[in-house]
Chains A and B, each alone.
Chain A
Amino acid sequence: MTALLERVAKAASTTAFGLSAAAVAFFLLAAALVVGFLFWQTNNLLTNQVLGVLTAEARILSSEMKVGGRAKLAETVAAMSHLRGTGLYYLADAGGVKIAGNLNRIPPELTEDTHGGVFSYQPAGDDSASHLAVAIPVDLGSDVRLIVGRDIEDQRAFADSIRLAFLLGFGVLSVAGLLGGLAVSRLILNRMDAITATSRSIIDGDLTRRIPTSGSGGELDALAGNLNEMLDRIEGLMSGLREVSDNIAHDLKTPLNRLRNSAEAALRDPRGAEAYREGLERTIEKSDELIKTFNALLLIARLEAGPLEESVETFDLGRFVEDVTELYMPAAEEAGFALSIEAEKNVFVRANRQLIGQAVANLIDNAIKYSRGGEPGSAITVRAYREEGRPAFSVGDHGPGIAADDRERALKRFVRLEASRTQPGTGLGLSLVAAVARLHHGEVRLEDNQPGLKVAVLLSGKCMIAASPASGSADSDVSAGIAAQ
């Protein structure tokens, strides 16, 4: 019982209940105004009807007086008084002595009033209660006083029943509204309790918990859905953070150890100054590599943490990819590759230019590093194009490629596939490309280039601002030399 009362009290203290109570109060006020207005109008109508009848009767009785004099008037009043109806009459002489009528006296409420009004009277043969009536005086000169009235007890009963109905309705509506408010707030409270309980679990460290949904597809379900999506994102970021710290712990300790070993070896070297110099140079080289790795790792983490809105700019993707490729042309040529570019021009995108450049650079660098240059068919092809209305670029080589089973893994941080272990590198190149793609709501596809590997980066269609009417790469120009500036 106490628990129930506590639950009710809790529900009653909620915002939902407060809002429901306010809505019910507003509704009741509106209802009271409407019913009050109707009641007042009905009352007015009925009163005007009665007054109309009384005025008509007064006119008839005045003409009776004019035509037949006081005797005729007394006869008519007496006759009308004997009719079983609601008519009330009182005819007296100038001295106040009653001549005819069914009223025993001039009601005290009307003695001073020359316009008539409402009064109470005791009907003959009815001891139950006094009745309400309305009467007007009829001006017939100074020798007689005539009052014509109507019993309006039925009207009063009607008004009383309306009042009672209204009060009952008001009461029922109030109770029903408050009970409804309690029920609604209880329902909301139950959902909120579920959200609170889930939040509590998450605060306590269980990031796998999700807010239950009822499946009704209502606003609370939408809210729960959005919160769950947010929790998925947070969980992803947290696991990313854990992964980064694991990576730092595991993959950065090794080069740090190498750095230390190199310094120790230099100190132990009997050659002295010359060895120290070499050792210091090696230390600088190794710390530069470490800084590079660390910077790439931080950049990936930062890209995954959220958008870099301020650095977004509009540029021609085709021209830019061609430009970056041109930077690599001499290096590729020296490494024995035929580097070619197929770029569809006038595909204007709104993206982070430097990060797109970094992605293109990483892909070309990978292609040079991991495919065999100087052999027949050692070609690297860079493309900028549109696919399904999305801006895209790709780098394809004819190297050993990546086995289908390893492709997803190759996009993860610090993954160094067996074939690439002998090559210098941080193991972050492709994961940085993947992070850049994700930042632009796009994706990275690793495909078989038959032979070799083709890495395609598809940006979101939302990144595209405008494109030339030509579709596909119809207007692409292929240049295998230095691009025109």
Chain B
Amino acid sequence: MIYLDNSATTKPFPEVIDSFVAVATNYFANPSSLHGLGMKAERLLAQAREQIAAMLRVKPNEIVFTSGGTEANNFAIKGVAWQYQRRGRHIITTKIEHPSVAEPCRQLEELGFEVTYLPVDREGRVSVEQVERALRDDTILVSVMHVNNEVGTVQPIEEIGALLSRYPKTLFHVDRVQGISKVPLDLKQAGVDLCTISAHKFHGLRGAGLLYVREGVRLAPLIAGGGQERQLRSGTENVAAIVAMAKALRLALERYERDIGRLQALKDEWLEALLAIPDIEINTPRDGAAPHIINFSLKRGVKPEVFVHELEKSGIYVSTTSACSSKKKAPSKTLLAMGLGEDRAERGIRISLSFDNSREEIAPAVAAIKQAIKTLSEVTE
């Protein structure tokens, strides 16, 4: 098996699974329970929070655990909207956000909020000037992803943060789901107010994620109930998955320190091998992209969904750029926004690497890709 779909989900580290099993087995109590076992679960939660906060260089009370990235993105956007709607009802985001940002924005539009969707350039990057021009007196939130999930473009988060530091009434949310452990970002220095992270993108387990909420920012809770997570996110905490997330993050950041050069080199080798294939076009920008995502478009006549299945036969797992395009013919929002044309946007394929991928995989995978293109072209022509 050659697994090249790490931006969809990563394989959990074995140590992470061990932690999950140990916690779920031995410390299964409800962390809110008064008795000693409950207290142990609570301590585990506190320790996970501290460890994660230290790694993100923020304070423990700035971490709100959620069920994952989608919930954290929804919470950031709707939480700001409900809390600050008297301050203003204008939100700025981009045309290339993940659906878990785009959809809540659309829902808010139905409720009378105004949303500006900023365009991106040919490389898939939003410009700081455009953010500045879109800002208004009633702008309460700017939400920009850190690393684009489809093509890997790194957005100018630090620059936007510097701009927004002059607009204290406008909060800054960053969806960092694809960026963490691959592209460094200092939340405090970048002036980020809210930041989304999801465990299963760095070899943790799905069902756990978090929202960084800078001290001083108030959010209306989406999930009300027993008042867990300082009233911000009720629901019995998923202690085992959260502890596993803390461990996964530690291991992933260690891997970053050790292997980022290797991953970058691996991506370059991949790019070189793909560029040598005549019938595909690379969509990921050469500079300013994350070290783990490569996006390319297939030649006309090769359907990306069919291509994915064809590769699967050789035990190679890749993605079409848009997860929901398997049934309806939906062009990639990001590739469209980059101005690559509807046709190219409908034929995007994403390869996403992790620190576990190796260069030995490149040759057989590339051979299989070539073969698949050949086979499918013959069928359709």
Same complex: no
Interface residues of B (CB under 8 A from A): none
